[in-house]
A and B are shown apart, each in its own frame.
Chain A
Amino acid sequence: AQTVTQSQPEMSVQEAETVTLSCTYDTSESDYYLFWYKQPPSRQMILVIRQEAYKQQNATENRFSVNFQKAAKSFSLKISDSQLGDAAMYFCAYRSAGGGNKLTFGTGTQLKVEL
């Protein structure tokens, strides 16, 4: 079974600064997808960014980028130019490429953005 570990329960960042959230995972599969989801307070979880394991290039979405290290089974999220609206719980998630659409989540990192 796959597992996802987020070792940082809480992180803080100053507005306009950069922060990196860590995620590691364990799997015996070679083909899979990795995701970062954002859950703002009292609002629904939304997809921030995804990475296909077969792609060597790191995914980027505007101010959000990932550092995907397949051999190390590491998948960190970098948020540049942090904004107050980035404050949320961030979940790392894993999904197998073959069969089914089950997401396995980490326990989340609560990000605080300070003025």
Chain B
Amino acid sequence: DAMVIQNPRYQVTQFGKPVTLSCSQTLNHNVMYWYQQKSSQAPKLLFHYYDKDFNNEADTPDNFQSRRPNTSFCFLDIRSPGLGDAAMYLCATSRDMTSYEQYFGPGTRLTVT
């Protein structure tokens, strides 16, 4: 009964080699979020989609992009990963922008070598 699924759970990429992380949801929620969680730090919102509308946080690096081809799927693309991009990436959903609760996936841990 998984609701927010992230694949893969662990991803290793090389410095500068583009990488894509995947998130899917079975909740039919309108909003999907991507958070970056570095070791011992708070999860930090990168961007979110409200339906097809993309909303980037002001301090999200240009290196990070996202795609949402349909309601169920959302992708995080890192164009040229640096060592500083190694982190846990969390996907979350909410029914709409006024919903109290966000539903999180288990995360993808990205290692950059």
Contact = CB atoms under 8 A, between A and B. Distances in A.
Interface of A: 4, 9, 33, 35, 37, 42-47, 50, 91, 99-108
Nearest to B41: A107
The 3 closest A-B pairs by CB, nearest first: A105-B42, A45-B104, A44-B104
A91 B42 contact: yes
Determine the main DSSP class of A at the interface with B: loop
Contacts of B100: 33, 35, 47, 50
B70 interface: no
Determine the main DSSP class of B at the interface with A: loop
B43 A91 contact: yes
B45 A102 contact: yes
Range of interface residues on chain B? 20 to 34
Interface in B56-113: 57, 90, 92, 94, 97-107
A101 B43 contact: no
A50 B100 CA distance: 8
Contact of B40 (A35, A45, A107): A107
Contact of A101 (B41, B98, B107): B98
A9 B103 CA distance: 24
B102 A103 contact: yes
B112 to A, nearest CB: 21
A51 to B, nearest CB: 10
A44 B4 CA distance: 9
